[in-house]
């Protein structure tokens, strides 16, 4: 099995261009599967082609006994399916029953997001600090504008380079999951904040003696701003604006999607803006706020 797993992981990394973190996750899931097979089959003569649906159901039970939740087990089964799909493409036969295994049913969890009043409060704090003229103040406003204004993921924002910006057309080229590029619009306030920030960015590079760096978001030493720093910046702004607890960079992306739909955005267009592969991923944002529900009711019902 080890040889097949190695080939599969190479396929994920070099052909599908998945991130190192994703490949590591697949490696761990398949390591657990291999450990289970050793327990399950013991000294019996077995190989990957002799595994059937009942064996994978036993694997799910094995994971449950180890204290894993339904979501974790579902992810492992998804990894196993991908592995066996790869084996099938490599010419292994008699694998059909493996694809019949059903994953545990998951409760759909609505993403946490901030309402429009909370977002307004966060921007009020960020704009006030930016107006003081410090590099960190204007940079942090740019971070907020790009996450909420354009719906970027944390990793996408962290990886942005200067050349990705087109301020004239108000667009930014984003490298998303699976190294897939997409073009995302920039809001007017984002462009205004960026124009101020880019001048201060040059001052920072000149001060530290850095001739050139491609990174858009910099720390005071002229290096690329880390993902952890971006998270801390956003959490501090959210906390100082007295919004609900537990919000993060990803919560602002959820807020972007929710508010776009609440304002009548097309679901397919939103899918492209968010960089989702499947429309089903975007559909989780179809929940509606109480305000919009009341608005629709009052404008549509003849006796409202």
Choosing from 253, 254, 259, 271, the catalytic residue is: 253
For residue 271, indicate whether it is catalytic: no
Q: Please state, rounded to an integer, the average pLDDT across all residues of the chain.
A: 86
**Which DSSP category does 216 fall into?**
S
Contact 275, 174 (CB under 8 A): yes
Choosing from 153, 224, 235, 292, the catalytic residue is: 153
pLDDT in tens, 155-167: 999 999 999 999 9
Residue 304 inside a domain? The answer is: no
User: Is the model more confident about 96 or about 279?
Assistant: 279
Taking 70 as the threshold, does the pLDDT of residue 108 lie above it?
no
Is pTM beyond 0.75? Reply is no
How many domains does the chain fold into?
2
Do 147 and 283 lie in a common domain? yes
Do 48 and 187 lie in a common domain? no
Taking 70 as the threshold, does the pLDDT of residue 69 lie above it?
yes
For residue 250, indicate whether it is catalytic: yes
For residue 153, indicate whether it is catalytic: yes
- CATH code, domain carrying 77: 1.10.150.130
pLDDT of 57: 85
Taking only Cα atoms into account, the Rg of the chain, rounded to an integer number of angstroms, comes to 24
Place of tokens 């049913």: 105
What DSSP assignment string belongs to 123-138? HHHHHHHHTTT-HHHH
Residue 43's pLDDT band (cuts 50, 70, 90): low
pLDDT of 29: 92
Do 80 and 122 lie in a common domain? no
Do 83 and 162 lie in a common domain? no
Residue 16's pLDDT band (cuts 50, 70, 90): confident
Do 167 and 246 lie in a common domain? yes
Do 187 and 287 lie in a common domain? yes
Do 69 and 138 lie in a common domain? no
pLDDT of 231: 94
pLDDT in tens, 189-231: 999 999 999 999 999 999 988 767 899 999 999 999 999 999 9
Instruction: Give the best-scoring range by mean pLDDT among 78-92, 115-129, 251-265, 277-291.
Output: 115-129
pLDDT of 133: 94
Could you tell me which residues come within 8 angstroms of residue 138 by beta carbon, excluding any fewer than 6 positions away? 130, 193, 196, 197, 200
For residue 14, indicate whether it is catalytic: no
Choosing from 76, 139, 158, 276, the catalytic residue is: 276
For residue 253, indicate whether it is catalytic: yes
Structural domain for 239, as ranges:
116-295
Choosing from 70, 75, 173, 250, the catalytic residue is: 250
Residue 46's pLDDT band (cuts 50, 70, 90): low
The H or E element that residue 83 is part of is helix 70-89
What contacts 24+ positions apart, CB below 8 Å, involve 3-7?
4/48, 4/83, 4/87, 4/90, 5/30, 5/34, 5/83, 7/86, 7/90
Task: Identify the sign of the CA torsion 26, 28, 29, 34.
Answer: positive
Residue 109 inside a domain? The answer is: no
**Distance of alpha carbon 276 from alpha carbon 17, whole angstroms:** 16
**Which DSSP category does 224 fall into?**
B
Place of tokens 């196993």: 80
**Distance of alpha carbon 282 from alpha carbon 267, whole angstroms:** 7
Residue 266's pLDDT band (cuts 50, 70, 90): confident
pLDDT in tens, 109-138: 666 888 889 999 999 999 999 999 999 999
Do 22 and 150 lie in a common domain? no
pLDDT of 94: 59
Do 171 and 65 lie in a common domain? no
For residue 236, indicate whether it is catalytic: no
Contact 223, 183 (CB under 8 A): no
Task: Identify the sign of the CA torsion 227, 232, 238, 243.
Answer: positive
N residues, the chain: 304
Mean pLDDT value across residues 67-87: 87
Choosing from 11, 81, 173, 177, the catalytic residue is: 177
Helix (H, G, I), strand (E, B) or coil at 183: strand
pLDDT of 134: 96
pLDDT of 162: 95
pLDDT of 290: 57
Do 74 and 120 lie in a common domain? no
């Amino acid at each position: 099995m080890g040889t097949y797993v190695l080939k599969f992981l190479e396929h994920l990394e070099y052909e599908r261009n998945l991130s190192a973190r994703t490949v590591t996750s697949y490696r761990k899931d398949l390591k657990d599967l291999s450990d289970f097979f050793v327990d399950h089959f013991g000294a019996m003569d077995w190989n990957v082609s002799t595994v059937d649906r009942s064996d994978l159901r036993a694997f799910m039970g094995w994971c449950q006994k180890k204290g894993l939740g339904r979501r974790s087990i579902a992810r492992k089964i998804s990894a196993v399916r991908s592995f066996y799909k790869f084996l099938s493409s490599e010419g292994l036969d008699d694998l059909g029953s493996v694809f019949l295994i059903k994953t545990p049913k998951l409760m759909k969890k609505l993403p946490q997001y901030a309402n429009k009043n909370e977002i307004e409060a966060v921007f009020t704090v960020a704009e006030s600090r930016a107006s003081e003229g410090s590099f960190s103040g204007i940079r942090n406003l740019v971070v907020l504008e790009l996450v909420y204004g354009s719906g970027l993921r944390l990793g996408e924002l962290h990886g942005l380079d200067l050349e990705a910006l087109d301020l004239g057309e108000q667009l930014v080229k984003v490298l998303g999951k699976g190294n897939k590029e997409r073009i995302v619009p920039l809001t007017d306030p984002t462009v205004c904040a960026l124009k101020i920030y880019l001048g201060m960015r040059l001052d920072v590079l000149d001060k530290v003696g850095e001739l050139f760096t491609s990174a858009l978001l910099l720390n005071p030493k002229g290096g690329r701003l880390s993902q952890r720093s971006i998270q801390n910046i956003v959490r501090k702004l959210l906390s100082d604006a007295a919004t609900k607890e537990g919000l993060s960079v990803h919560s602002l992306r959820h807020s972007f999607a929710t508010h776009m739909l609440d304002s009548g955005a097309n679901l397919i267009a939103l899918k492209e803006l968010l960089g989702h592969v499947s429309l089903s991923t975007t559909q989780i944002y179809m929940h509606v706020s109480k305000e919009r529900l009341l608005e629709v009711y009052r404008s549509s019902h003849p006796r409202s």
